[in-house]
Structure 1
Amino acid sequence: MTTEEGRILDVIERYEFKYLVPERLVPAIRDAVRGICKRDRYGDADGVYRIRSLYLDTGGFDLYWANDREQRDRFKVRVRSYPGKTSPVFLEVKRRVQDVIVKSRAVTPAAGWQELLARGRPAALEKLAPNARKGAEKFLSAVHRHDLRPVMLIDYEREAYESTIDTYARLTFDRKIVCQRRDTLDLEAPARGWRPVDHPVQTATHEPVCVLELKFERRPPPWMAALVRRLELVRRSFSKYCYGVNAQLTLPETRAARFEGGLRP
């Protein structure tokens, strides 16, 4: 497993359009892209795999607030893994400037990423390949400059398809999105500690939905534009991290205590 894009690059620049679509529409979307897209090669027989990310933030949740307010220039810092697969860990800085997504990342051994994040461990950087080292330095620079610390684990299933006629175009469905507080550099978590993120109560929808993402370079392919028009899809901002923080705040016993007053606008 490399990445959800199926390739390892230092920097990815693209557009991501998100939609909350009812599960009842998913079969129609699959049918619409049949013949244009193929299932992601890293998924199971249904093109599905799991993604787990550890998000970092400041003590005042500044990155959360920047995303919640949809600031024009904002970023997220996360450690990404693929549970159930033999895969490295990815250190990612995902920046959004208006509609453009610029993501830099470093590929690190699954057994050594915690050592890399420890302050004053330059020896760990030297173990990385030159291209991975550059991404790791950018990641660590953001962590140290903003004094970031582990905050939240987000876990979900992704059903992914990639275009066979475009240089780069992907369509993904994300569902079974859950979150769990995490204040240590650890991607493991107790099974009973997860809190739903895409529940209708959280998404303010009247029926179960999934997150549809259309990813492309420069401009949407004609088949994507036709799909959006035909099904009358409406773009909606959906940050899994922000929804995860909000989901945790709805727990009656943790509304204030668990975040220790950190979520102040």
Structure 2
Amino acid sequence: MNKAYNNLKFRHELKFMINRHHYFIIRQRLKNLVRPDKNASTNGEYHIRSLYFDDYENSALSEKLGGFRDRHKYRIRVYNRSDRLILFEKKIKCGDYIAKLKEPLDRDMYDAILNGNYEVLHQPDNPFAMELYLEMKQHLLRPRVIVDYVREPYVCENGNVRITFDKELRTGLHATDLFDQSFNPVPALDDRHIIMEVKYDEYLPEYIKAAVQMEGLHQQAASKYVICCKYLKNNNWEDQ
């Protein structure tokens, strides 16, 4: 087994597409039950921009659209448009459980990967870096689409719960550089819709369930990657 998976920890992940009316109600109910994530700015939010990768068969997109319960996808993620923290991630999903592998990159490594120099990932003593390297060399893993949004995160120590509201989902035409100053993302989702995610370890406290109105909401496969890919395709922005 790949050593990168030895300490992999899976968590529950639930996703809901809600409107702004529900968002304001749920946020108010959560007010005295959870606290803002320490990484959020003074306005309680931070910005996320991810570059998603897929192979020559578009496996990540096809498996998601095909309803595969066990799948994975690769992305490079940055926060608040800064290169201080650049993470190459693999998100692994098994049913309603998720786990992540992360490999930090410096700016030089990121630039090299974007320029097609995958040798920077050839690190025999680093299992996950080697997995990325082999995916790029053997399966032609390549950048596909940028996913851009604002996140409002909350945490609760009981159950190690994390609740996030992802807003202003955007993408762009043929964009592959997370730090491109000329990148002008366009809305990929109606601004009235917000993606709420609830992640937790072994259990979800009943008072959190009640606060987020889980009994009245339906889980949805709200993949931001798929939403952005579909938007580009429907607007004839797909790569020919």
Q: TM-score with structure 1 length normalisation?
A: 0.77
Find the residue that maps to 2:119 and give its secondary structure: coil
* Change beyond 3 A, Cα 1:242–1:230: closer
Report the alpha carbon displacement of residue 245 of structure 1 after superposing the two structures with TM. 0.7
Of 132, 139, 163, which aligns to 1:171?
Answer: 163
Alpha-carbon separation, structure 1, partners of 2:219 and 2:123: 40
Contact 1:39 1:46 survives alignment (8 Å): no
Find the residue that maps to 1:242 and give its secondary structure: helix
In structure 1, the partner of 2:178 is: 187
In structure 2, the partner of 1:205 is: none
Contact 1:89 1:107 survives alignment (8 Å): yes
Report the alpha carbon displacement of residue 24 of structure 1 after superposing the two structures with TM. 1.3
The letter of the residue matching 2:201 is E
Contact 1:195 1:247 survives alignment (8 Å): no
Of 214, 219, 231, which aligns to 1:247?
Answer: 231
Report the alpha carbon displacement of residue 11 of structure 1 after superposing the two structures with TM. 4.1
Of 38, 41, 48, which aligns to 2:38?
Answer: 41
Long gaps (5+) in structure 1: 1-9, 201-207, 261-265
Contact 1:105 1:139 survives alignment (8 Å): no
Alpha-carbon separation, structure 2, partners of 1:37 and 1:68: 34
Identity of aligned residues (%): 23
* Change beyond 3 A, Cα 1:231–1:56: same
Find the residue that maps to 1:259 and give its secondary structure: coil
Contact 1:161 1:170 survives alignment (8 Å): yes
Alpha-carbon separation, structure 2, partners of 1:59 and 1:140: 15
Pair 1:162-2:159 in alignment? no
- The alignment's C-alpha RMSD in Å is 2.5
In structure 2, the partner of 1:212 is: 196
Q: TM-score with structure 2 length normalisation?
A: 0.85
* Change beyond 3 A, Cα 1:223–1:135: farther
In structure 1, the partner of 2:221 is: 237
Alpha-carbon separation, structure 1, partners of 2:25 and 2:224: 25
* Change beyond 3 A, Cα 1:188–1:158: same
* Change beyond 3 A, Cα 1:229–1:38: closer
In structure 1, the partner of 2:135 is: 142
Of 145, 166, 170, which aligns to 1:152?
Answer: 145
Alpha-carbon separation, structure 1, partners of 2:9 and 2:78: 18
Alpha-carbon separation, structure 2, partners of 1:240 and 1:230: 21
Alpha-carbon separation, structure 2, partners of 1:234 and 1:26: 14
Alpha-carbon separation, structure 1, partners of 2:175 and 2:48: 19
Contact 2:149 2:167 survives alignment (8 Å): yes
The letter of the residue matching 1:215 is K
Alpha-carbon separation, structure 2, partners of 1:150 and 1:178: 16
Report the alpha carbon displacement of residue 25 of structure 1 after superposing the two structures with TM. 1.8
* Change beyond 3 A, Cα 1:104–1:211: same
Alpha-carbon separation, structure 1, partners of 2:199 and 2:48: 17
Alpha-carbon separation, structure 1, partners of 2:37 and 2:62: 33
Count, aligned residues? 232
* Change beyond 3 A, Cα 1:47–1:171: same
The letter of the residue matching 1:69 is G
Contact 2:87 2:104 survives alignment (8 Å): yes
Which whole-Å deviations, capped at 9, do the CAs of 1:44-67 have from their partners, x for residues lacking one?
Answer: 222100000001112332211111
The letter of the residue matching 1:170 is R
* Change beyond 3 A, Cα 1:11–1:179: farther
Moved more, 84-93 or 134-143: 134-143
Pair 1:66-2:49 in alignment? no
Which whole-Å deviations, capped at 9, do the CAs of 1:47-90 have from their partners, x for residues lacking one?
Answer: 10000000111233221111112212111110001134463200
Contact 2:162 2:199 survives alignment (8 Å): yes
Contact 2:29 2:212 survives alignment (8 Å): no
Contact 2:159 2:203 survives alignment (8 Å): no
